[in-house]
Structure 1
């Protein structure tokens, strides 16, 4: 993200990702396939190793989603036997798998190029409603930013499950390359940044309304 633009802010990228994550739940299979393919091509161009890591680690989860839907959704049997999966179930499972893959791929876009400091800036802006509830949004934003940064690094390092479980059981934290030097208070949003953020927020609200109020068939 080019922070030289007057309208650019990490909160906008994060809100855009949330918008996309909501939108993929509403997309039909054809545009969904096209969108996921474009996201995969973008990640293949930027970080091909990360794309193969994601696909390799998600393959069993995606397969499980397809199989669960295939044997649980009623419809026409794939072959004439009561234990056969259905065409409708396999199609629904493949669609849900594509939606999950689209969310994960776009999450990589959101994290790409954002340092922990920039993540904190964006989280702090988006956590503004917490202050209305009397909560410490600075602490919440810092924890969320560090969690995303650690999760992204964990994905790249491929530690064994035994070492991960042992670290969690011992209460150890994952090492970071450098200490987090946060600017406090974070830089205030400019007028253009507020305008762009408001437009994206209106798009998110419109998408959620469409999801909650589907068109009558």
Structure 2
């Protein structure tokens, strides 16, 4: 298994590459990531898409009605979206979908402790600036715990879930244990490949 920090970095590299990918390459990545997510993380992908459906719709509407270009309905110039806006919106939706599909795979491969351990490792450079990454790990663990509990509660709407996440909570003193992972040659190879692909896409 790759180090959690390496897996998170690979997802970051992929997300950056998606912003630079041409439409044809993006379509190929979208198809591949869609089938990979269906095989490896179907439930998580369904959950992420359900939680972001209004964001996706808003993104498409904003691009379709605010981007200058050829009107789709010339007889209604004040109400018509533009073909350029629809194309740009669809392109951004494709990038967002690919990122969510990859995120679903990542969140399925890593449990909460592994995810925090990976982020804890990525925050190691903060120590050079005098910042305590131990405290950051604790805050992140608590945030993920209460946010996940609120989001998985389907008995009420999104407003009630948001209010529960913003409510102050009583935290009992305790110890948070994070799993330890050694960095190996596979991590270096995987990150080198991911970085190479990112540079290739940007050229």
Q: TM-score range by the shorter chain?
A: 0.7 to 0.9
2:125 counterpart of 1:129 = yes
Q: 1:151: Cα distance to partner?
A: 4.7
More helix by share: 2
RMSD: 3.2
- SS of the aligned residue for 2:117 comes to helix
Shift of 1:194: 6.3
TM-score of the aligned structures, taking structure 1 as reference length? 0.74
- Which of the numbers 166, 169, 191 marks the counterpart of 1:172? 169
Q: Secondary structure at the match of 1:112?
A: helix
Q: Equivalent of 2:192, from 196, 199, 208?
A: 199
Is 2:153 the partner of 1:160?
Answer: no
Q: 1:207 offset after TM fit, Å?
A: 7.2
Separation in structure 2 between the aligned mates of residue 28 and residue 60 of structure 1, nearest angstrom: 25
How many angstroms apart in 2 are the aligned matches of 1:41 and 1:55?
15
Among candidates 58, 63, 66, match of residue 64 of structure 1: 58
Q: Equivalent residue for 2:39? A: 45
Distance of aligned partners of 1:58 and 1:201 in 2 relative to their CA distance in 1, 3 Å threshold: closer
CA drift of 1:70 comes to 1.1
* Structure 1 residues 105 and 188: CA distance shift in structure 2, 3 A: closer
Rounded to whole Å, the distance in 1 between the matches of 2:103 and 2:69 is: 34
- Secondary structure of 2:109 counterpart: coil
Alignment partner of 1:182 is 2:177 = yes
1:24 equivalent among 5, 10, 18: 18
Question: How far apart, CA to CA, are the structure 2 residues paired with 1:137 and 1:197?
Answer: 25
Offset at residue 125 of structure 1 (A): 1.5
The count of corresponding residues between Structure 1 and Structure 2 is: 198
Give 2:111's match in structure 1, choosing from 115, 126, 132. 115
Aligned 8 A contact 1:78 1:85 in 2:
yes
| Distance change in 2, residues 1:82/1:66 (3 Å) | same
Q: Deviations over 1:119-159 (max 9, x none)?
A: 23211221111011111122223433554565556554445
Runs of 4+ in structure 1 off by over 6 angstroms are none
